[in-house]
Structure formats: structure tokens, C-alpha cells
């Protein structure tokens, strides 16, 4: 509200974990710069009993009105008031099962159902727990008090300041006052938590459901190190006295950066040596580092509006890798960043249905399936690009300056590049505005005429779309000379074309050295391509460049600019490839071609894949090896499954044995547990289904359950697939249903019945958490729609006329369907 700001909240809560209700009272201390007769607060799904305002020393009841559509509670003051205004609102609310606001999370202890009550407020769900000015820029301080059962414990952002038993039973507790912060970062949780502490200048503590917390040792130790790194790198101390890591079973997202009380899905915090793979271990570190970075980027310095959300997520994404790399350099996490973040971003950003990193709009722009790859993955990749451009030292100084200047306050995009510009002498503002403010990215086409390289740029989209966009591209070119040497030249491409004069003796050139730049490259002259092929085969080019060459080429296949045969022929030069990055990317691309192609080409792609992965597995071994490279372990779990899928007899034989071990109750190595389960489902049938589903329900490990969810997507028989569909809807917990649907959408046997399944259960899917519903659409439409394009298009065009729900995701999924259809036609032609 204009002219009114909230300075302080005092929140009093009495949650009842049996009835799933809570009683609440909030005192809001406001400041009005002009005389006002009404105050509006955000509120949602709360029953408001009473509103009062302090007049003189007396609390007076005041009339109020609640508008559920606007999620607004308006209090009418008894007179025009200015300056300090103190309000009090009494209400009750539900501890809901929506994984939003103040909600309940279910878990089992010795087979018995139990619940904890926790909060998830980002972006706009604090209003479900207490009436407030629910906007990131409306920063205030908070006192939280709770009345809970005597045998329960409570967690909030700050440590407990005072606690006492109540005569009527239960206990009252009060947490220390928070610093100035945004409502979406507040947290409170009540339950039978068990704790593990790591004392230090900042107390770090893990909390989990009974019997689980011993698995948090690994996370606690890494968090201590990550905290030390962050304080040193940012030059700003962590400002709170404690930091809690809370494991929550039912969680819509992966984790949340509540200030001083970060929350996680169980598999992203708890490490179980029997079921946590090395990929899972790495993911724990990455997510922890991500949330830790948010304690500064987001919590200390907050976006002034949701449209600047990238200032949170791009930095957290970047530091999710930067911090892990510091302590586990042998994990090669930057290579995994390129595949996991940059490749995902390039794919998403190549769609016409698109928007810039700084999303126009504001209020209702949220993190969803459409926006996340742009804000997180592209944003993180652009930070890597700008770090490459200004240098690591300037990058670090710029970030530190940004954090110090805006601590406990809010910032906009402009504030970031102002800080970066101030410490470096480069034109950062122009470049950042250019990349943050416009959608998409360029395709740089390059050809050589004599001793001149001619570069041109245009926006890359898979479907034809005229565009006169241009980017300020930090271009790097690695030149390979006849005498065997090489060097990199760097320049800025500011216009649509650029020419570079070469010295004598250049035999080949490779653009976008080490993929620092967020763009794709098309090589127009054959001679250079042939020379590059040789450099790939000899491994003169590094793994990152070997990765980008084939990945850009596959993007051109999807774009319709190159034939799949050209891509497959290019892959022949990777016959002795051993590096993680190119291999994992080839696996993803080949699988995409396999899924999308019609039956005519499938066998050919499968036999190509079976040979390729069979050979790689011969070299790296099918069994996990003692002391092997981290990325080898991650790669094997993927390739083993694909080799079985494509018909490799050796791989199938190995997997059969491994899966029977599981059936017989023996342990298998966690690094191949997922692929063995996937292969077991694929090669098996009803018996495998029964074992997997029984095990799913009995398992105490979310790591194991995630493996089983992936495996459930891999059956071949229609009868079993129907059982899988029913199991997903009836038995898989809400938090994981959409993941299982995603697994089905990767299975060529499950795809043909995906659309009918969606249609007959549409209302159930629509009732999923909004982001999970979007994930279902993003899985079903582009794959399940193949062969049924007209029907699917008409269906959603009609539905979009009636409702805006998931509109962006529907549009981009229909676009992917169109790309797939075109590919299928081209592949079979």
C-alpha cells in the first residue's frame, strides 16, 4: 500500500497437529506517511475473527473486509491515522496438505503415520499463515511465539530466547527477533524433530524426523565448509547466530533458503551409505551450497520485486557449483554444470515462447516450469559468461560490493552491474542489459574466406521466427596452427557481423572456447569441420569443446538445419571417447532421437547406441571400481540403462544378475542401483513391478524411492504399464507423482497411452501442486502428443480460451511437440 510500510510483526501461533488447525494472532506495527483510514494486508485461507487497532493506549475493534480474490484483508480504522499504527488480528487457519503456507508433512515411524507442521512461503504464501504485507520489498523484523505440546519441538529462523511450561499443559516459547527480512523467508516448524549439532561461531544444526538425523552428518560437515567459503568469498559474515538444516518428507520444491532455517527434501539433505549414489551425494552438496548462497543472495540482499528474481536464483545456481568445486575439485562439477545447467538453458531458450531473464510483469511472475530454466539455468550460465569476461577477481569484488551496499535491503538488476562496472573497467552494464533484458540467444555462423573469418549472428530458434535481435557477444576463437600449436583470441562482437583476420598457418578454428559464452555455433565450411573432427578424434580439443561441437550440431538437427545422419556420422569421431561430458550429452541426444523418431528409424538408432555404450562400458567396467573418477560412476549409471534399453546383450546379462540380487534381498552398489532397477523393470514384468512397488512402500530412504520412481517408468508390457499408472495416482505421495509421470514420458512403450491416460484423469492431474501439474503437461504434451498433434492442439487451444492456468507451459509444450513432429517426419523421410 502506498505510503504505508510494516516495520515489525509479532506472531503468536498455537498449532494443533491432531486437528491440523492453528490459532493465530498477529500484531503488525506500521508506519503511515500520510493520514489513512484503511490498511490492507494480504491474507489467504484464514478465518479472521477479530481486528483491532491501538488508539491511545486502548485496543479498539475495527471493522474489516476480506476479498479472497485479491487475497486482501482490509481494516477500517476508527479515524484518519498517521505515523505509527499498531494493529492486531486474531484468526485461525488450517495446517493444510498443499505443501504451501503452513502445511503438514507425513512420515512413518515403525509403520505408524506421523506428521510435522512446517512452512513454505515463497513466493506468496506467508499470507496463508498470517496476514501481512506479503512482498519481498516489504522488509520488517519478526518476533515469533508459539504454544506447542510439551513433547514436541519447534524451529524458526532465530534461536529460542525463552521457553516455559504452561499450567494448562504444553509449553510456550519465543524466538529471538529476526533482522529486517522479507515475509517469504520466514519459517516455523513443529514436530518430533531429532537434532544433530555442529557447534561453532555459528551453530549449525540438522533436524529430521525420528530415526533419520544420523544421516545428516555428511551435510553438516559440508555446510560448515561451505559457510567458511561463502564468508571469505563474499567478504560479509553470516549475520545470524545459528543455521538449521531441516529435512522434510513432503516438499513441493527441492529446498528452500529460509534465513537461518533452510529446508530440504530428505534425499537432498540425508546421506545413507547404502542407498545414496555418488551422483546423489554431489546433488546434496550442490543444493546445500545453493541454499547457503541464498543466505546472502536473497536473504540479506533481496530482489526489490519478483521480476528481479534472477538476482537470487542465478547466483545461487552459480555458487551451487562454485562452492562444491572448491572442496571437491576431483568431481569436475563445472563439466556437470555445462550439461545440467547450460545445455538445459540453451534448449529452453531456443523456443519462440520465451521471455528475458529479467521477466517483465512483476506481481504474478513466479518460479514455474517455464521460467525456472531461464532464471536459474540461463542466469547461472550468463554469470559464468560475465565472469569469463571481467575476470574472476573483478567478479568477486563486484559481488562483495553489491552485497555490502544493499545489505538488509533490496536491489534491482541495475544495482548488480553498477557494482560490477565500478570494480572493472569493462562496459559491463551494456553487456548485462543486453543479455538479461532480451529473450533468446544467438547462433553464430562462421566461415573462412582465405585468411579471413566471417562471423554473423542471428537469434537461434528451433522453429522459424524472423528476428533482428543482436547480442554483445564475448567471442573467443581457438586457432590451431599447422605447426601443432594453438592460441585463443578474444573479442567483442557488437554487430550482426564481424570479420577477423588470421595469421598465416591456421589449419582449424573452434569458436566459443571452453563454452564460456552462451551461444551456439554453426560451421559453414566443410574443410574446417573435417579438421575439427580430427581434433576430436585425437582429443587435441578438450572435453568441453568436444561436448559443445556435437551438442550444437544436434541442436541444428532439431532445428531442421542438419540431418540426423550427419550427427550420427559425426559421432564416429567419438569412438574412443572416455570423458564424462561429451558422453553424457551424446547419451541424452541419442535417447531424444530414439524417443522422437518413428518406428522406421528406432532400430537403427538403438543398434548404434547399443554398440556405442557397450564399448564404453567395456572400457570403464560395468561394476563400480574402487577409487575410480567420480564422473565415471555418474556416467555408468546412465549408460548401463541405455545399453540395456538399446539391446546390448552383455549389459542385459549383467543387469539381470544385479536385479535378481535385489529381488533376493542382497545389496547392490548404490552407484548402479538406479540403472539396475530400470533395467530390471524393462527386462522383467509383473514380478518386477510387484517387488518395486512393495519396496517403494516399505523403504525408509528417499534416495531408494527416487530410484524406484525412475524404474517404474521403464516397463514394456501394456498390462504392467496400466498398473504403473494406477500406482502413480493412488500410491505415490503427492510430492513425487509428477516425477513418475516424467519417467513414463521417456519410455517409448508408455508414450502411446500417455495422452488417453491424461484425458481420463485430467481433474486429478489438475489438482496437483501447480508446479507439479505443469511438469505433467511438460512431459505429456511433447511426447504423448506425437501422432495425435491435431487433437492435442485443439484440446489445449480450447482450454486456454477458458483458463490461464499453466498457459505458458502449455504453449511451450505445444511448441516442443511441433519440433518433435517435424523431426519425426524428417527422420522417416
Catalytic residue IDs: 291
Picking from 211, 173, 295, 282, the residue whose alpha carbon sits closest to that of residue 245 is 295
Q: Does 383 bind Zn ion (CB under 5 A)?
A: no
Alpha-carbon gap, residue 249 to 97, rounded angstroms: 12
User: Cβ 122 to Zn ion, closest distance in Å?
Assistant: 9
CB-nearer residue toward Zn ion: 152 or 384:
384
- In the complex, minimum distance from the CB of residue 704 to Zn ion, in angstroms, rounded to a whole number: 26
| Of 9 and 310, CB closest to Zn ion | 310
Q: Is the dihedral of CA 121, 126, 127, 132 positive or negative?
A: negative
Assign 711 to helix, strand or coil: helix
Residue number of the CB atom closest to Zn ion: 316
Range 481-492 burial, b when 16+ CB lie within 10 A, else e: eeeeebeeeeee
Closest approach, Cβ 22 to Zn ion, in A, equals: 27
Q: Provide the minimum distance between the beta carbon of 427 and Zn ion in the complex, in angstroms, as a whole number.
A: 29
Q: What is the DSSP letter of 502?
A: P
Is the four-CA dihedral 598, 600, 606, 609 of positive or negative sign?
Answer: negative
Is the CB of 378 or the CB of 816 nearer to Zn ion? 378
* Whether the Cβ atoms of residue 48 and residue 73 lie closer than 8 Å to each other: yes
Between 367 and 729, CB nearer to Zn ion: 367
**Of the candidates 501, 402, 484, which has an alpha carbon nearest to the alpha carbon of residue 449?**
501
Taking the complex as a whole, how short is the minimal distance between the CB of residue 120 and Zn ion, in angstroms?
A: 13
Tell me, residue by residue from 301 to 340, as one string, x for binding to Zn ion by CB under 5 A and - for no binding: ------------x--x------------------------
Which CB sits closer to Zn ion, 258 or 336? 258
**Residues 760, 775: Cα–Cα separation, whole Å:** 18
Is residue 604 packed enough to be buried (19+ CB in 10 Å), middle (13-18) or exposed (0-12)?
Answer: middle
Phi, psi values for residue 178, rounded to 5° = -80, 160
Choice between 30 and 316, CB closer to Zn ion: 316
> Closest CB to Zn ion among 316 and 720?
316
Question: How many binding residues for Zn ion (CB under 5 A)?
Answer: 2
Q: How far apart are CA 141 and CA 408, in angstroms?
A: 11
Contact track, Zn ion, 674-713, x by CB under 5 A: ----------------------------------------
- C-alpha 655/C-alpha 677 separation (Å) is 8
CA separation for the pair 648, 654 (Å, rounded): 10
Q: Rule CB under 5 A: which of 408-447 touch Zn ion? A: none
Query: Distance between CA 479 and CA 490 in Å, rounded?
Result: 11
Compute CA distances 598 → 2, 674, 755, 787, 788, whole Å: 59, 28, 17, 10, 13
> Which of residues 365 and 781 has its CB atom nearest to Zn ion in the complex?
365
SS3 595: helix
8 A C-beta contact, residue 238 and residue 246: no
Are the CB atoms for 773 and 734 separated by under 8 Å?
no
Q: How far apart are CA 691 and CA 663, in angstroms?
A: 7
Do 93 and 24 form a contact (C-beta atoms < 8 A)? yes
Whichever of 317 and 486 has its CB closer to Zn ion, that residue is 317
Smallest gap, in angstroms, from Cβ of residue 166 to Zn ion?
Answer: 38
Q: In the bound complex, what is the minimum distance in angstroms from residue 374's beta carbon to Zn ion?
A: 14
User: Residue 615 CA to chain centroid, in angstroms?
Assistant: 33
Beta carbon nearer to Zn ion, 134 or 313: 313
Please give the C-alpha separations between residue 266 and each of 43, 108, 216, 729, in angstroms, as whole numbers: 30, 13, 10, 22
- Least CB distance from residue 297 to Zn ion, whole Å? 9
Give the separation between CA 538 and CA 532, rounded to whole angstroms: 10
Q: What is the DSSP letter of 377?
A: I
Q: In what order do the strands lie in the sheet with 261-265?
A: 194-198, 203-208, 242-248, 261-265, 255-256
Instruction: Give least dist CB 285 to Zn ion, A.
Output: 15
The answer to whether residues 73 and 64 touch, using CB atoms and an 8 Å cutoff, is yes
Q: What is the DSSP code string of 425-480?
A: SS-HHHHHHHHHSSSS-EEEEEEEETTEEEEEEEE--SS---------EEEEEEEE
Distance of alpha carbon 232 from alpha carbon 364, whole angstroms: 36
For residue 320, the minimal CB distance to Zn ion (Å) is 8
Alpha-carbon distance of 784 to 155, in angstroms, equals 44
Of 266 and 299, the one with the shorter C-beta distance to Zn ion is 299
The three cell numbers of residue 730 are 493412488
Measured distance CA(330)–CA(311) in Å, rounded: 29
> Which residues share a beta bridge with 442?
459
Give every CB contact of residue 736 below 8 A, 6+ residues apart in sequence: 705, 706, 709
Residues 501 and 476 sit within 8 Å (Cβ to Cβ): no
Q: Please identify, using beta-carbon distances, which residue of 91 and 416 lies nearer to Zn ion.
A: 416
Q: Are residues 390 and 828 in contact, defined by beta-carbon separation less than 8 angstroms?
A: no
Contact 317, 376 (CB under 8 A): yes
Contact assessment for residue 399 and residue 419, using Cβ atoms and an 8 Å cutoff: yes
Q: Which is nearer to Zn ion, 316 or 692 (CB)?
A: 316
327 contacts 353 by C-beta, under 8 angstroms: no
Q: Name the site residues for Zn ion (rule: CB under 5 A).
A: 313, 316
Amino acid at each position: 500500500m502506498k505510503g504505508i510500510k510494516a516495520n515489525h510483526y509479532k506472531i503468536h501461533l498455537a498449532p494443533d497437529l491432531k486437528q491440523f488447525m492453528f490459532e493465530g494472532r498477529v500484531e503488525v506495527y506500521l508506519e503511515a506517511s500520510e493520514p489513512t483510514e484503511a490498511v490492507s494486508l494480504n491474507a489467504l485461507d484464514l478465518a479472521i475473527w477479530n481486528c483491532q487497532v491501538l488508539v491511545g493506549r486502548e485496543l479498539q475493534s475495527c471493522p474489516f473486509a476480506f476479498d479472497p480474490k485479491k487475497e486482501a484483508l482490509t481494516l477500517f480504522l476508527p479515524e484518519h491515522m498517521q505515523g505509527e499504527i499498531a494493529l492486531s488480528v486474531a484468526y485461525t487457519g488450517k495446517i493444510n496438505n498443499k505443501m504451501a503456507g503452513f502445511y503438514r508433512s507425513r512420515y512413518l515411524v515403525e509403520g505408524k503415520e506421523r506428521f510435522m507442521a512446517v512452512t513454505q512461503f515463497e513466493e506468496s504464501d506467508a499470507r496463508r499463515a498470517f496476514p501481512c504485507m506479503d512482498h519481498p520489498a516489504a522488509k520488517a523484523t519478526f518476533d515469533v511465539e508459539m504454544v506447542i505440546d510439551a513433547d514436541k519441538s519447534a524451529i524458526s529462523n532465530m534461536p529460542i530466547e525463552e521457553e516455559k511450561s504452561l499450567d494448562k499443559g504444553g509449553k510456550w516459547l519465543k524466538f529471538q527477533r529476526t533482522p529486517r527480512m522479507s515475509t517469504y523467508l520466514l519459517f516455523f516448524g513443529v514436530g518430533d524433530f531429532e537434532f544433530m549439532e555442529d557447534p561453532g561461531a555459528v551453530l549449525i544444526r540438522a533436524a529430521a524426523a525420528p530415526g533419520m538425523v544420523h544421516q545428516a552428518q555428511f551435510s553438516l560437515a559440508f555446510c560448515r565448509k561451505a559457510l567458511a567459503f561463502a564468508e571469505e568469498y563474499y567478504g560479509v559474515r553470516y549475520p545470524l547466530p545459528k543455521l538449521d538444516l531441516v529435512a522434510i518428507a513432503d516438499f513441493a520444491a527441492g529446498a528452500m533458503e529460509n534465513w537461518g532455517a533452510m529446508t530440504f527434501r530428505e534425499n537432498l539433505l540425508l546421506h545413507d551409505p547404502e542407498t545414496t549414489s555418488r551422483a546423489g551425494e554431489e546433488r546434496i552438496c550442490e543444493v546445500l551450497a545453493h541454499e547457503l548462497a541464498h543466505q546472502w543472495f536473497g536473504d540479506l540482499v533481496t530482489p526489490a520485486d519478483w521480476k528481479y528474481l534472477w538476482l537470487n536464483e542465478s547466483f545461487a545456481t552459480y555458487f551451487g557449483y562454485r562452492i562444491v568445486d572448491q572442496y571437491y575439485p576431483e568431481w569436475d562439477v563445472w563439466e556437470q554444470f555445462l550439461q545440467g545447467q547450460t545445455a538445459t538453458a540453451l534448449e529452453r531458450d531456443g523456443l519462440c515462447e520465451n521471455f528475458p531473464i529479467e521477466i517483465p510483469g512483476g506481481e504474478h511472475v513466479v518460479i514455474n516450469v517455464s521460467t525456472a530454466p531461464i532464471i536459474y539455468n540461463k542466469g547461472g550460465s550468463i554469470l559464468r559468461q560475465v565472469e569469463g569476461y571481467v575476470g574472476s577477481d573483478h567478479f568477486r569484488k563486484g559481488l562483495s560490493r553489491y552485497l555490502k551496499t544493499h545489505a538488509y535491503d533490496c536491489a534491482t538488476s541495475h544495482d548488480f552491474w553498477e557494482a560490477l562496472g565500478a570494480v572493472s573497467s569493462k562496459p559491463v552494464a551494456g553487456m548485462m542489459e543486453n543479455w538479461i533484458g532480451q529473450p533468446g540467444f544467438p547462433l553464430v555462423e562462421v566461415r573462412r574466406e582465405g585468411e579471413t573469418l566471417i562471423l554473423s549472428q542471428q537469434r537461434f530458434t528451433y522453429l522459424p521466427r524472423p528476428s533482428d535481435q543482436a547480442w554483445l557477444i564475448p567471442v573467443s576463437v581457438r586457432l590451431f596452427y599447422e605447426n601443432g600449436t594453438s592460441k585463443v583470441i578474444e573479442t567483442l562482437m557488437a554487430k550482426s557481423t564481424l570479420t577477423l583476420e588470421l595469421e598465416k598457418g591456421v589449419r582449424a578454428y573452434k569458436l566459443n572456447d571452453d563454452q564460456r559464452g552462451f551461444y551456439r555455433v554453426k560451421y559453414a565450411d566443410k574443410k574446417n569441420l573435417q579438421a575439427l573432427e580430427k581434433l576430436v578424434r585425437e582429443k587435441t580439443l578438450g572435453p568441453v569443446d568436444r561436448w559443445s561441437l556435437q551438442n550444437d550440431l544436434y541442436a541444428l538437427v532439431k532445428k531442421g538445419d542438419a540431418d540426423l545422419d550427419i550427427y550420427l556420422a559425426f559421432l564416429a569421431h567419438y569412438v574412443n571417447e572416455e570423458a564424462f561430458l561429451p558422453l553424457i550429452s551424446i547419451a541424452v541426444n541419442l535417447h531424444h532421437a530414439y524417443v522422437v523418431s518413428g518406428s522406421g528409424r528406432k532400430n537403427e538408432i538403438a543398434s548404434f547406441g547399443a554398440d556405442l555404450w557397450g564399448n564404453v562400458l567395456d572400457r570403464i567396467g560395468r561394476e563400480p571400481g574402487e577409487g575410480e573418477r567420480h564422473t565415471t560412476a555418474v556416467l555408468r549409471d546412465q549408460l548401463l540403462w541405455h545399453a540395456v534399453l538399446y539391446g546390448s546383450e552383455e549389459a542385459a546379462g549383467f543387469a539381470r544378475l544385479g536385479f535378481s540380487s535385489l529381488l533376493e534381498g542382497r545389496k547392490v552398489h548404490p552407484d548402479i542401483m538406479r540403472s539396475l532397477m530400470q533395467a530390471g523393470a524393462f527386462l522383467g514384468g509383473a514380478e518386477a513391478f510387484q517387488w518395486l512397488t512393495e519396496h517403494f512402500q516399505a523403504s525408509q530412504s528417499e534416495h531408494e524411492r527416487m530410484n524406484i520412481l525412475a524404474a517404474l517408468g521403464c516397463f514394456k508390457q501394456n498390462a504392467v504399464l496400466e498398473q504403473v499408472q494406477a500406482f502413480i495416482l493412488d500410491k505415490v505421495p503427492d510430492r513425487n507423482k509428477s516425477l513418475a509421470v516424467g519417467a513414463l514420458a521417456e519410455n517409448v512403450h508408455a508414450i502411446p497411452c500417455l495422452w488417453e491416460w491424461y484425458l481420463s484423469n485430467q481433474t486429478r492431474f489438475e489438482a496437483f501442486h501447480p508446479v507439479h501439474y505443469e511438469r505433467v503437461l511438460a512431459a505429456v504434451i511433447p511426447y504423448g502428443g506425437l501422432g495425435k498433434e491435431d487433437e492435442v492442439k485443439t484440446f489445449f487451444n480450447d482450454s486456454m480460451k477458458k483458463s490461464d492456468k499453466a498457459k505458458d507451459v502449455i504453449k511451450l509444450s505445444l511448441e516442443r511437440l511441433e519440433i518433435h513432429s517435424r523431426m519425426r517426419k524428417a527422420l522417416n523421410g
